[in-house]
Structure 1
Amino acid sequence: MLTAVSPPFSAVARAAGSRMTPWRVVQGTYRRFGAGLPYLPDPMDPPLEEHQKDLGALYGLEFRSDFDFGSARRNTLCEMAEAMLPDLGHDVDEVDLVVLARQTPDADFRRSVACWLNWRLPLAPTPVAVSDQGSAAGFTALRMAHAYVTSAGLRRALVVLADQTSFAFDAPSEQVPATDAMAAFVVEPVDPDDRALPACVLPVVPDHVASAASQLWQRVPTPLSETLVVVGPGIDPALFTGAAQVVTAEPGMPSTGVWGQLAERRFGLPYAALIDFAPGPSLLSIALLDVTDLRRGDS
């Protein structure tokens, strides 16, 4: 887990000077889900309710007063991923790495979606996951994909971002999504020999977000007039002068926000810059993507 105490602003300037390059998005899809299945009956023994109570007791936590396993419903990450796989077509059959990004725990943590995808996909892709970074998790996932692909001889990665609303315990309001949703992208480097990063995650104090975002935008190597900018809520769209188009992601979707916006809509531009700020860990993130060949799954 990356935790951040904001450094001197000069550190942001140095990080912004790092060379970046877009990664190609081959396929992308985004879905919202309804109420899901009931928790009960639970075919496994011991049941999930017992697991949850035991884990909560370790931290002195009790179930929310309004949460009842007998009436609550949920979408597990595995159920959402299974529903989305057909949207990704045959492109997903060629991935050799899976990176899951999420803010909240799985409604049923007894099945790991990253490991399930390792079992489900033909090349048995290496499964890794990142969490506890708010909206920065997806950007860190892309950085992790870069690290694995460039150092381990891999070719393609599947980056999965998930939001989930079912909580047995109280959670900070900024961590609770508005609805269950999942976004997934098949990505690969445009040039396998280019080691420049496709994403950057910086610790930034809230008062410096606008200045830091402006600096990052000035370093974007793609033609600005051909670049779509998708920003998270709270980031001023006016900062990104020269962009072909600037859109703001809807609030209340800490993991899928800007990514879902990209996958859900057809913008017709060759490049995309995704920029978001996670207030909890105070992380400002940017990702550069080549979406020229992006094929979007049905949503």
Structure 2
Amino acid sequence: MRLIRIERRTFTAPAVFLADDGQRAEVDAYFADLTRPFGTEPHRVRSGQSYGEMARELLAAVAPAEPVDLLVLAFSIHDLWPGRATATYLSRLCPGTPLSFAVCDQGSAAPFTGLRIIRDYGAPRALLIVVEQATLPYDSTAPTPAEHRGVAMLFGAIGGPRVTGLRQHPAVAPEAVAGQADRDVTELAAGSDGVRVVRSDALAAAWTGHPDHTTVPAGQPTTGVWWHLADALTGSAGLVVAADYDPDLRYLCLAGIEVR
């Protein structure tokens, strides 16, 4: 697996489909039905994003002459068009009409699971799309992102930094995070000229110290690490480790990418 290209974008305008009164009314009715059993009323949907619209723009990571064999869409917070099979929709738009998967309900571990699917499937060319939108039309204790953001990563067998290792650990208690993360980085970095770690703010809170590591600012719990990974990969040769921890679900995930 080699990382051929990264495309990343921030989306400032509401989803286009929300401009249609009929579609917005259908979304309002859906969320009213969804929240009614919990004794709450949703907010009127006036802004927010559709992952189909966001990812459609991120497909700029794929040139027409680069047909994709596998597409994986990873997200944590749902979008505002719940009736769409988004991964299937994107397969139709993507060069190659690839087999597609959607990975959710894993918090910040979802993109790492997407990487694992790509690795295990062994597709000649694969696209991982990580998206998050910042609007929930109902009250929730879950932190919402600061912005609508998306990152698309195109992988292939030739060219670009190479993915050398992947670690995913479930049920890691906060007090065990630092020790496990240290062991994983040591294993992933074996034989490398040097190592740079890009970690989420949630991981930094449990894995203190290491001022040389890049800690991603808070506010983008799903895309943050991958957004800043693009900058880290433009540096000197050596291993770059993308690392994240979900304190609610207790998933600890790391991926090593070798820059030559």
TM > 0.5: yes
Instruction: Answer yes or no: is 1:124 the counterpart of 2:97.
Output: yes
Q: Does 1:52 align with 2:20?
A: no
Q: Does 1:163 align with 2:129?
A: no
Q: CA deviation at 1:147?
A: 1.9
Residues of 2 paired with 1:119 and 1:61: CA distance?
A: 37
Q: Which residue of 2 aligns with 1:68?
A: 44
**3-state SS of the aligned residue for 2:138?**
coil
SS of equivalent to 2:3: strand
2:228 alignment partner in structure 1: 261
Measured after TM superposition, the shift of residue 89 of structure 1 is 4.2
| One-letter amino acid of the counterpart of residue 116, structure 1 | Y
Point out which structure has higher relative CO (alpha carbons under 8 A, 6+ apart). 1
CA 201–275 in structure 1, closer or farther in 2 if over 3 Å, else same:
same
- Give the whole-Å Cα distance in 2 for the aligned partners of 1:238 and 1:132: 30
Contact map agreement 2:216 2:225 (CA 8 A) in 1: yes
Who is 1:36 aligned against?
14
Note if contact 1:146-1:198 (Cα within 8 Å) is conserved in structure 2.
no
* 1:93 counterpart SS class: coil
Distance of 2:12 and 2:169 partners within structure 1: 34
SS of alignment partner, residue 94 of structure 1:
coil
In structure 2, relative to structure 1, the CA distance for the partners of 1:59 and 1:97 (3 Å cut) is farther
The code of the aligned residue for 1:51 comes to Y
Residue 279 of structure 1, CA deviation = 0.4
2:114 pairs with 141, 149, 169, which one?
141
Change in Cα spacing, 1:172 to 1:264, as seen in structure 2 (3 Å) is: farther
CA distance in 2, matches of 1:91, 1:221: 36
Equivalent of 2:219 in 252, 260, 265: 252
| Cα distance change of structure 1 residues 267 and 170 upon mapping to structure 2, 3 Å threshold | farther
Aligned partner letter, 1:207: E
Structure 1 range deviating more: 130-139 or 283-292: 283-292
Q: How many residues align structurally? A: 251
| 1:122–1:85 CA distance, 2 compared to 1 (3 A) | closer
* Contact 1:231/1:246, CA 8 A, preserved across alignment: yes
Say whether 1:114 aligns with 2:87: yes
- Say whether 1:200 aligns with 2:200: no
Cα offset, 1:249, TM superposition: 1.2
Identity, % of aligned positions: 27
Counterpart-to-counterpart distance in 1, 2:191 and 2:12: 39
Partners of 1:68 and 1:277 lie apart in 2 by: 33
Q: Distance in 2 between matches of 1:215 and 1:289?
A: 17
Once residues 52 and 239 of structure 1 are traced to their aligned partners in structure 2, the CA distance between those partners, rounded to angstroms, is 43
Q: Secondary structure at the match of 1:277?
A: strand
Runs in 1 of length 4+ with deviation above 6 angstroms? none
Is 1:178 aligned to residue 146 of structure 2? yes
Is the 8 Å Cα contact of residues 93 and 122 (structure 1) preserved in structure 2? Answer: yes
Q: 1:105 aligns with which of 78, 91, 97?
A: 78
